[in-house]
Structures are given as structure tokens and as C-alpha cells.
Amino acid sequence: MLEWPPNPDERKPGRPTTHSETIAMLHWAVIFFVIAIIAAIFGFTGIAAGAASIAKILFVVFLILFVLSLLFGGFRRGPRV
């Protein structure tokens, strides 16, 4: 039960945890691990393929912009002195 203000004797730093607290934390860790595995199976493959195709498109776009900036930047400058 949640009390306010909290009991100062209940949670002191360095107090050893009980067996039931340890089991509860392991229970939640296993639940989140299973959820993460299920999300990875259903979602990561599509996300990875989509990200790879977007990366290819962006690479080509920025490569074209880089070449254009080299060409037009060279024409814009005056002669070196």
C-alpha cells in the first residue's frame, strides 16, 4: 500500500532486499524481455529494409548536390591572385 509520507524505516539505503522484491524485479525483467523479442520479430525487419532504402536515396541526392556545388562553386569564384 502506498503511504505518504513514506515510512523512513521502510526503504533505507543499503538495506538488503527481500526475496519477494528480487522475484518481482526478475518477473518484470522477463516480461519486458519477451515484449522486446516479439517487437524485434515483427518490426525490425521492415524497419531495417525501409531505412536502407531511404539511406540509398539520400546518398544519391546528396552526392548529386555535392557534385553540383563543386561545379557551380568553382565557376562562381574569381581568378586567384
User: For the chain, first and last CA: distance in Å?
Assistant: 82
Count of domains observed in the chain:
1
CA distance 17 to 40: 33
On whether residue 65 sits in a domain, the answer given is yes
* Amino acid 3: pLDDT: 59
pLDDT score of 37: 81
- Specify if 11 maps to a domain: no
Rounded-to-integer distance, Cα 37 and Cα 47, Å = 15
Query: How far apart, in whole angstroms, are the C-alpha atoms of residue 27 and residue 48?
Result: 30
Q: What is the pLDDT of residues 18-31, one digit of tens each?
A: 777 778 888 888 88
Q: Which residue range forms the structural domain that includes residue 24?
A: 18-75
The 10s digit of each residue's pLDDT in 31-73 is: 888 887 887 777 776 766 777 788 899 999 999 999 998 888 7
> Nearest Cα to 17, choosing from 29, 26, 7, 28?
26
**Is residue 62 in some structural domain?**
yes
- Backbone φ and ψ for 28, nearest 5 degrees, come out as -65, -35
